[in-house]
Amino acid sequence: MTQSVLPLAFCLLPSAFCLLPCAFVFAQHQAPHEIPRLPQALLERPTTVRTGVGAVHDAMAGASPEAQRFYDLGLAYLHSYVWIEAARAFHQALRLDPHLAAAHAAVSVAYLELNKPDEARASLATAQQLVAGRSAHERRHVELRALQAASEQAPANSATLAAYRTALQQASAEFPTDVEIALLKALATSDDHSERGQGLGAGAVTALENARSLAAD
């Protein structure tokens, strides 16, 4: 549950805050547009382990070393907003270990960002079906993703975000050195239920610093 290098969105914290005003202006002037739906075969196309995308590691007990490597790669791509490659990496992990519930849950994030809500729901449902026999750590991640997804689907319902934040507090108490949970806590400081890190404000600094300190261990 350690990371030798924080993902792009978080290791560039000072730069990210410098860019906040520009991002705000961009958001104001960018016309809304729908992301085209990509062929499913593209998102499942086999991939290989890459370097230079951040060194993320969140150990899932019972996963084969190869499946773990691709799961970690998928997380790294998620943190860098490279949704297609994240989906490919998680699918590669799942070809190696179809029971890796955490990968089913994590790929739902990529699906959602790629305008595939049905696939996102299906992958999360599969994760929830498979997770019973997995470790407490993996069960936590699937639970967190389910609560996060419920919050994303109800952006006007503050109770869903509150429930997700409460679960994050419990998860971080149970797994205090888990960098992934620490990063999710930082994202959840935002009132945007779908926050992925690009809209974080000053309220996230303490949580991000905590994640960075954990990653440095």
119/178 with CB nearer Zn ion: 178
Q: What share of the chain is helix, strand, coil (3-state, %, to 5)?
A: 65, 0, 35
CB of 138 to Zn ion, least distance (A): 8
Residue in 206, 134, 149, 144 with CA at minimum distance from that of residue 180: 144
Distance CA 7, CA 84 (A): 17
CB of 142 to Zn ion, least distance (A): 11
Under a CB-based contact definition with an 8 Å cutoff, are residues 101 and 138 in contact?
Answer: yes
With contacts defined by CB under 5 A, name the span among 9-17, 51-59, 69-77, 155-163 that binds Zn ion.
Answer: 51-59
CB of 179 to Zn ion, least distance (A): 8
Distance CA 130, CA 6 (A): 29
88/140 with CB nearer Zn ion: 140
Q: Taking CA 72 as the corner, what is the angle to CA 184 and CA 108, rounded to the nearest 5 degrees?
A: 60
Distance CA 77, CA 13 (A): 17
Q: Which of 3, 8, 47, 58 binds Zn ion (CB under 5 A)?
A: 58
CB of 31 to Zn ion, least distance (A): 38
- Does 178 contact Zn ion by CB under 5 A? yes
With contacts defined by CB under 5 A, name the span among 90-98, 104-112, 122-130, 178-186 that binds Zn ion.
Answer: 178-186
58/143 with CB nearer Zn ion: 58
72/119 with CB nearer Zn ion: 72
- Does 180 contact Zn ion by CB under 5 A? yes
CB of 53 to Zn ion, least distance (A): 18
Q: What is the CA radius of gyration of the chain?
A: 16
Distance CA 42, CA 61 (A): 29
Name every residue whose Cβ is closer than 8 Å to that of residue 23 and which is 6 or more positions away in sequence. 198, 199
CB of 181 to Zn ion, least distance (A): 6
With contacts defined by CB under 5 A, name the span among 55-63, 74-82, 144-152, 186-194 that binds Zn ion.
Answer: 55-63
Total number of residues that touch Zn ion (CB under 5 A): 3
Residue in 83, 78, 48, 45 with CA at minimum distance from that of residue 66: 48
54/114 with CB nearer Zn ion: 54
116/145 with CB nearer Zn ion: 145
Q: Kind and range of the H or E element at 148?
A: helix 136-152
Interface positions with Zn ion (CB under 5 A): 58, 178, 180
